[in-house]
Amino acid sequence: MARLTWRAATVAEARWETASARTLVLDVPGWPGHLAGQHVDVRLTAPDGYQAQRSYSIASSWREGGRVELTVQRVEDGEVSSYLADVLETSQQVELRGPVGGWFVWRPASTAPVLLVAGGSGVVPLMAMIRARGDVRGRQPFRLIYSVRTPEDVLYADELRRHVRDDPGLDVHFVYTRKAPEGWREPPGRIGVATLNSHGWPPDFAPDVYVCGPTAFVETAADILVALGHDSRKIRTERFGGTA
């Protein structure tokens, strides 16, 4: 492993995931590959030299010769996120440094059951794990609990449905906090003990748990998991502050 340096990344494609989140598909010459859960730092430089830097989780799993995908949720008044979501065009470049992080990662060779708990765009690195498991046709028991404001805010909705259909041993449960779809079995509300108890794995299974979302969400979910009897050493968390 060598020390990190900044690289030029070219936008090969861009696609909207929701009305406020866009995936950038980046060509990064010399990219060494990455693990599911790792992130990159993106740096923007204005014509007058002003610079701003933010971290973004990698959404894609890595395949030889592949590209790096980032899903950027536009944040109110966010100088970097609004540029990446709304302004940057295909064939333009940004600077990128990575892959970063060796703690909040899932390795396909791991055999333990996995519980993924996502709050909002915290689903991005967890999606990379689901994609990586799909790539190798993994058989590890996988569950995603995905807390999201409304059905329209769900990232990767169609692809998640395909994975649930095609990848044996994968379940996805949604928690809607503001508005649930017509006929949904629970009223909208925040993630709670009942949800994590009935849709997570029992602590006896000793799952590896990955929780990603805004700080308050991560703290709530991690506290409940510990109270339910999960070993805090098996709970890995990543908080983001609504990356501006």
Partner 1 sequence: MSIISPGFGGRRRSSRPDLPPGQYLTHDFPVLSAGPTPRVPLDRWSFTVTDELGQKTSWNWEEFNALPQEEFTVDIHCVTKWSKLGTTWKGVALDTIFENLESSADYTMVHSYGGYTTNVPVEDLLDGKAWIVHTFDGEPLHPEHGGPARLLVPHLYFWKSAKWVNGLQMIPQDEPGFWEEAGYHMYGDPWREQRYQGD
Partner 2 sequence: MSSEVDGNALGGDLAEIFAVDLTGAAVTCGGCKTVSAVAALLVWGPAPGLVARCPECEDVVLRLVRAPGQAWLDLRGAVSVRIPLPAPE
For partner 1, which stretch binds (CB under 8 A), given 19-27, 82-90, 115-123, 128-136? 82-90
Instruction: State both tokens at 152.
Output: 């329209």
Which residues in 205-224 contact partner 2 (CB under 8 A)? 215
Decide: 95 and 124 in contact? Cβ < 8 Å.
no
* 230/211 Cα distance (integer angstroms): 13
By CB under 8 A, the count of residues binding partner 1 is: 18
For partner 2, which stretch binds (CB under 8 A), given 23-31, 94-102, 138-146, 180-188? 94-102
Question: Tokens 């007058």, residue?
Answer: 48
* 33/61 Cα distance (integer angstroms): 9
From 12, 52, 100, 180, residue interacting with partner 1 (rule: CB under 8 A): 52
In the complex, what is the shortest distance from the CB of residue 161 to partner 1, in angstroms, rounded to a whole number?
36
From 45, 53, 90, 215, residue interacting with partner 1 (rule: CB under 8 A): 45
Question: Tokens 């990190």, residue?
Answer: 4
At what angle are helices 123-135 and 157-166 packed, to 10 degrees? 40
The amino acid at residue 25 is V
In the complex, what is the shortest distance from the CB of residue 3 to partner 2, in angstroms, rounded to a whole number?
5
* β-pairing verdict for 21-27 and 7-18: antiparallel
Question: Tokens 């030889």, residue?
Answer: 64
Position 90 contacts partner 1 (CB under 8 A): no
Instruction: State both tokens at 1.
Output: 């492993």
Position 159 contacts partner 1 (CB under 8 A): no
* Binding stretches for partner 1 (CB under 8 A): 8, 43-48, 50-52, 79, 83, 87-88, 92-95
* Binding stretches for partner 2 (CB under 8 A): 1-5, 39-41, 53, 55, 97-98, 100-104, 215, 236-242
